[in-house]
Chains A and B, each alone.
Chain A
Amino acid sequence: MSLTLAEVEHIAALARLELTPEEKERFRAQLSAILDYADRLQAVETSDIPPTSSVLPPHSALRPDEPRPGLSLGEALTNAPLTEDDQFRVPPVLE
């Protein structure tokens, strides 16, 4: 299975990644190889097996609805490259 260049560009756009022409070609080959590898699973007969979401027996894991304090404002913002008015500051994405 070989990805087209357009498919690589679409995947990159969804991830908001800007790739050079060399990178596009390199990732096209790498992603295709990964998909080929995963494709080997298609050989397994699964028509009688329901999709497995978890290997654990199905049961709910729930917690009580009780709040506790989380991060302080300082901790929350500490890794942000840019902040303003106690908020994260980012460039516009959709314009």
Chain B
Amino acid sequence: MTKYEAVIGLETHIQLNTTSKIFCVCKADSWNDPPNTNICPVCTGLPGVLPVLNQRVVEKALLLAVAMHAEIQPESYFDRKNYFYPDLPKGYQITQYDRPIALGGWLDVPVPASPAGGAYIRRVGIAKLHMEEDAGKTRNAGHLRQIDFNRCGVPLIEMVTNPDLRTAAEAAQYLTRLRQLLRWIGVSEADMEKGHLRCDANVSIRPAGSQVLNPKTEIKNVNAIDAVREAIEKEFERQVREVEAGHRIEAWTLDWDEEAQVLRKMRSKETEADYRYFREPDLLPVCLTQAQIDAAAQEMPERPLDRRARFMETYQLPEYDAEILTAERQLSDFFEAAATAYGDEPKKVSNWMMNEVLRMLNEQGLTAGELRLQPAHLAEIIQLVDDGAVNAATGKALLAKVQQSGRSPAQVVADEGLARVSDDSAIRAVVEAVLSESPKEVESYRAGKVTLIGWFVGQVMRRMGGKADPALARSILEELLR
């Protein structure tokens, strides 16, 4: 039996996180706003209005182009894509067609090991990257439709990959890494649930190893990374069944039904020529000077995967740690600042980050940049534990107290008297009291139930407000219980 491989290209629409829309001054983000409340004569296509391009849209497009290693075009143009649809009040979408802001580029996508094989890097080529406006929203209401124009004119970047992806898992990884990058460079919130990152997938199949490109189908309306993986997998299997049965693959457009987890055939696609593209006469070209392009390159931070590699190299972190710490840019900045402040043993800082700091972020729903706990505070707390000034449990509690109060760890220790009691006599007095009050437990322990030692240590710690050195408490207990 022939072995087939999938040939997959992804078309992504990325909603930029600007304050205002692309061609008018309406608020861009309408999440949670009532329908038709962020609209104006420009975005609803009333007669006699003129679009004016938002400077931040160009800057963000430029930054993304740099991040994708794309060739930035010094001169690019907007065009009208004409079609009639109720959520497009002008009757055309302003987009970039044959002269987009950037061409080419790539994203390197690490694909983790799976039962199918070891880990590898897939380089995904980018065909083009362009700016455009979004359309409104249509909602089904009985046999009529309701239209909300709030989303009209929201800035989008459309980015089209080459047909370089070979499996559904690779496509999912591409989206995961793209989402990480978009947040990292701050051009989009990239929240798929809110439609900030939308994806259409072009899928065809061929015998493994062949170089031909067969007719493809286009999967639309997938708005979660797992759904993209699922939908491509299903479509790949369907095409294999069709070809094996001697049928031809037709260039269908398929709609992913999330609830039923099935693909349904949509209307046959209008051909390119039917859009009757022509230059948008109301807008000037986008002209970029070398200085602007250089400035974007300057603004480009270290990319997440480069930082991940550097963390493994410079700090000798395991890949697992480096991956988690570079999931988000502010988190990686936090780690690096704390590791620098602490000085040596970055792995120890990493452990505190991955256990304590990440738990705090998850519990409080914060990002690393929003913490009152500063990287220097974390380094100081780890140092306090190292020096034996506080025990490990107190150190962890200190994190929460610093976060809550904004005071420095040393200040909290002084204010609350948290310094560890390693004074033998003070602990000894408490141990004696505990033993005299717990005759039954003492009897069981001496009869051989030595696991009770943990309970005794707990009693001592509780009475001393957690300040006792637990190792010292344990050795005194063992001595007196003998």
Chain B contacts of A15 at CB under 8 A?
A: 84
**Given A60-B284, A65-B56, are A90 and B145 neighbors across the interface (CB < 8 Å)?**
yes
Number of A residues with CB within 8 Å of any CB on chain B: 34
For window 102-142 of chain B, which residues contact chain A by CB distance below 8 Å?
A: 139, 141
| Interface stretch of the complex, out of B2-10, B35-43, B193-201, B331-339 | B35-43
Chain A contacts of B19 at CB under 8 A?
A: 65-67
For window 52-97 of chain B, which residues contact chain A by CB distance below 8 Å?
A: 52-58, 75, 77, 82-86
A41 within 8 A of B: no
A77 within 8 A of B: yes
The contact of B267 among A65, A88, A94, by CB within 8 Å, is A94
A84 within 8 A of B: yes
Task: Contact check, B40 vs A70: say whether CB atoms are below 8 A apart.
Answer: yes
B401 within 8 A of A: no
Most chain B CB within 10 A, of A16, A54, A66, A71, is at A71
B475 within 8 A of A: no
A64 within 8 A of B: yes
Number of B residues with CB within 8 Å of any CB on chain A: 52
Most chain A CB within 10 A, of B36, B41, B53, B83, is at B36
What are 14 A-B residue pairs whose CB atoms fall within 8 Å in the complex?
A: A58-B284, A59-B287, A61-B53, A63-B54, A66-B20, A70-B38, A70-B40, A71-B41, A82-B144, A84-B144, A87-B147, A88-B147, A90-B144, A91-B145
Task: Contact check, B58 vs A62: say whether CB atoms are below 8 A apart.
Answer: yes
Chain A contacts of B274 at CB under 8 A?
A: 14
Chain B contacts of A77 at CB under 8 A?
A: 36
A60 nearest CB neighbor, chain B only = B287
For window 74-92 of chain A, which residues contact chain B by CB distance below 8 Å?
A: 76-77, 82, 84-92
The contact of A87 among B24, B57, B148, by CB within 8 Å, is B148
B146 within 8 A of A: yes
Chain A contacts of B58 at CB under 8 A?
A: 60, 62
Task: Contact check, B149 vs A76: say whether CB atoms are below 8 A apart.
Answer: yes
Chain B contacts of A34 at CB under 8 A?
A: none
A6 within 8 A of B: no
In the complex the two chains form, what is the Cα distance from A53 to B84 in whole Å?
24
Task: Contact check, A70 vs B24: say whether CB atoms are below 8 A apart.
Answer: yes
A40 within 8 A of B: no
The contact of A85 among B40, B77, B146, B288, by CB within 8 Å, is B146
Task: Contact check, B149 vs A68: say whether CB atoms are below 8 A apart.
Answer: no
Chain B contacts of A1 at CB under 8 A?
A: none
In the complex the two chains form, what is the Cα distance from A60 to B44 in whole Å?
24
Task: Contact check, B39 vs A70: say whether CB atoms are below 8 A apart.
Answer: yes
Residue ranges of B at the interface with A (Cβ–Cβ < 8 Å) = 18-20, 24-28, 34-41, 43-44, 52-58, 75, 77, 82-86, 139, 141, 143-149, 267, 274, 276, 279, 281, 283-288
Chain A contacts of B287 at CB under 8 A?
A: 58-60
A38 within 8 A of B: no
A94 nearest CB neighbor, chain B only = B267
Task: Contact check, B28 vs A86: say whether CB atoms are below 8 A apart.
Answer: no
B286 nearest CB neighbor, chain A only = A60
The contact of A54 among B37, B43, B83, B285, by CB within 8 Å, is B285
Chain A contacts of B36 at CB under 8 A?
A: 73, 76-77, 86-88
Chain B contacts of A82 at CB under 8 A?
A: 144
Chain B contacts of A43 at CB under 8 A?
A: none
In the complex the two chains form, what is the Cα distance from A88 to B41 in whole Å?
15
Chain B contacts of A65 at CB under 8 A?
A: 18-20, 54-57
In the complex the two chains form, what is the Cα distance from A77 to B39 in whole Å?
11
**Given A65-B56, A87-B139, are A56 and B146 neighbors across the interface (CB < 8 Å)?**
no
B18 nearest CB neighbor, chain A only = A65
B57 nearest CB neighbor, chain A only = A65
Task: Contact check, A61 vs B39: say whether CB atoms are below 8 A apart.
Answer: no
Shortest B466–chain A CB gap in Å is: 51
Task: Contact check, A73 vs B85: say whether CB atoms are below 8 A apart.
Answer: no
Task: Contact check, B284 vs A73: say whether CB atoms are below 8 A apart.
Answer: no
In the complex the two chains form, what is the Cα distance from A61 to B287 in whole Å?
9
In the complex the two chains form, what is the Cα distance from A92 to B138 in whole Å?
10
Chain B contacts of A44 at CB under 8 A?
A: none
In the complex the two chains form, what is the Cα distance from A76 to B26 in whole Å?
13
* Given A65-B54, A67-B19, A88-B147; 6 other pairs, CB 8 A cutoff: A14-B276, A60-B284, A62-B58, A67-B26, A86-B36, A87-B139
A93 within 8 A of B: yes
Shortest A91–chain B CB gap in Å is: 6
A86 nearest CB neighbor, chain B only = B35
Task: Contact check, A68 vs B25: say whether CB atoms are below 8 A apart.
Answer: yes
Chain B contacts of A61 at CB under 8 A?
A: 52-53, 283-284
Shortest B34–chain A CB gap in Å is: 6
In the complex the two chains form, what is the Cα distance from A85 to B18 in whole Å?
28
Shortest B257–chain A CB gap in Å is: 16
In the complex the two chains form, what is the Cα distance from A50 to B291 in whole Å?
26
In the complex the two chains form, what is the Cα distance from A70 to B287 in whole Å?
29
Chain A contacts of B57 at CB under 8 A?
A: 65
Shortest B199–chain A CB gap in Å is: 22
Chain A contacts of B43 at CB under 8 A?
A: 70
Shortest A75–chain B CB gap in Å is: 9
In the complex the two chains form, what is the Cα distance from A57 to B184 in whole Å?
37
B79 nearest CB neighbor, chain A only = A53
